[in-house]
Structure 1
């Protein structure tokens, strides 16, 4: 762990906070307050992490009044924010007022003028699903049969991700506004976990955000009013919506595809990695992707109807 002496004199031990999907989180209480210390997973990151660009963006967002933990420091191995108390979001549609305010937060975020020194670099769309299914079956993974049965669907998803046109504009944004990165404080949003921030096609950010908070587990109960509330809040915040189309959902599908493959590889290794999520959490994420991605892909026409 990196040197944390700048945070003050500890009043208790560094305490692990379980549940992170990519890195590892700890809480540290000192004579200067409480801090969230995130130990970065440097062993098998899916994409480069631009520490100083993200920290600059976070500080600008915090100064602009975006509800978020105060960024304290950022180094090559750890990120530090002031600890924020709030309620975790359940896996269920959020209230309409919460969704509307979240849309306004995105509008404020996209209006910031912040330098970003790196060109966007998306990871290649994975196409090795037949080989992954073979390895999963050979090693007796609990979700191997479902993966093998859906290999053709996963290859079709990869083709969709590569072929789908993104209309723009590209905005500098959070890129991961999901329920697990949100808190509710007095019923209002607090946005956490900014390390995936960077440039992104606007439709992908809005579609991913609106869909993720408008549904419960799976896609059987998507609430159109909550989805639309995010967009209404965005427009009320002075921003304009991009044209409708499948591009609204391609970022979510593509990101989930890469995340599923990453967790599958962790499961195939069969050992607990020294950084990143627990092996049990990787199994849960792999199983959710193997089941959920084909379902989401099959429902694209219904999802696009939310934009009408």
Structure 2
């Protein structure tokens, strides 16, 4: 990494653990503190659009969206001004959820050029083969995966065939509790590198559900879910029609994330970038156990939109 433009370091760069896709470091220099993100370019599910994302981030920051100041970006490194804050623990408060809704409406109103339209990734159908490989390599979650193969195939069909009503908006695409800070009780939006075009219902459903539930799906707070939507309307946004499309994006994203971590675990080596192997195993276990439970709750999730 060439970080000379950030000033003279006053100490060593420190790894900040916990990233699900990339690796983060803190660098303190005579010009301040910076978050330096080393992008995982080894086995990404899709390419990063660094220049487009940086332009989008700068527009959002200039518009007053609460977020770290974007400093620079190149093919494998993103740099932002460091922001102190606490973790956003879900379920969040109603006021926090409302403000996130307002922030989304402001993001969607930005006039930023984006070169490509939405391209949906097809859900993989190789779950049976992955279960066989997991058993052959002695993965600790192999039996659980094998028992859920048919469910995962059903989920894949749902993700690919669910009708998205539109409109399609340029947005963050990943406003989840782990990508948020709480500073004096108010949100700060982190990790913009997955930004792009997305069906509005998918963005709203993913965000509202993630902020309204605890670690599993047994503690979903309808009032918090509605607070995100109320904030979106208060911020000038218009809600799309209710339906399963509100949850297709979060379900499909979790499905793809689980498969990606399965592949990393099957490789059985500690990769030089991306999550540590132990975190990949944790992500697989969470997906194999949690995703079928979330999918079977789809009627209950749709009831949140009533």
Which TM-score tier does this pair reach, normalised by the shorter chain? Answer: over 0.9
Q: Is the 8 A contact 1:47 1:123 kept in 2?
A: no
Q: CA deviation at 1:89?
A: 1.9
1 CA distance for matches of 2:118 and 2:263?
A: 25
Q: Does 1:86 align with 2:85?
A: yes
2:97–2:228: 8 Å Cα contact kept in structure 1? yes
Contact 2:168 2:199 in 1 (8 A): yes
Q: Which runs of 5+ in 1 are unaligned?
A: none
Partner of 1:142: 140
RMSD: 0.7
**TM superposition shift of 1:119:** 3.4
Tell me the CA shift for residue 217 of structure 1. 1.2
Task: Quote the residue 2:244 is aligned against.
Answer: 246
SS in 2 for 1:253: helix
The CA deviation at 1:239 is: 0.9
Match of 2:20 in 1: 21
CA distance in 2, matches of 1:270, 1:37: 27
Name the residue aligned to 1:103.
101
3-state SS of the aligned residue for 1:252? Answer: helix
Indicate if the aligned counterparts of 1:46 and 1:123 stay in contact, CA closer than 8 A: no
TM-score, with length taken from structure 1: 0.98
- State the match for 1:54 in structure 2: 53
Q: Is the 8 A contact 2:118 2:168 kept in 1?
A: no
Instruction: For residue 37 of structure 1, give the secondary structure of its aligned residue in structure 2.
Output: strand
1:208 equivalent in alignment to 2:198: no
Contact map agreement 1:264 1:283 (CA 8 A) in 2: yes
Aligned-residue offset at 1:272 = 0.2
Report 1:276-291 matches (<5 A).
Answer: 276-291=274-289
Note if 1:222 corresponds to 2:226: no
Cα separation, 2, equivalents of 1:247 and 1:124: 15
Kept after mapping to 1: 8 A contact 2:145/2:288: yes
2:265 to 267, 283, 286: 267
What's the secondary structure of 2:290's corresponding residue?
Answer: helix
SS for the counterpart of 1:277 is: coil
Contact 1:273 1:279 in 2 (8 A): yes
Shift of 1:69: 0.3
Give, in whole Å, the separation in 2 of the partners of 1:110 and 1:153: 34
Normalising by structure 2, what TM-score? 0.99
* Secondary structure, aligned partner of 1:176: coil
1:99–1:226 CA contact under 8 A, matched in 2: yes
Separation in 2, partners of 1:48, 1:116:
15
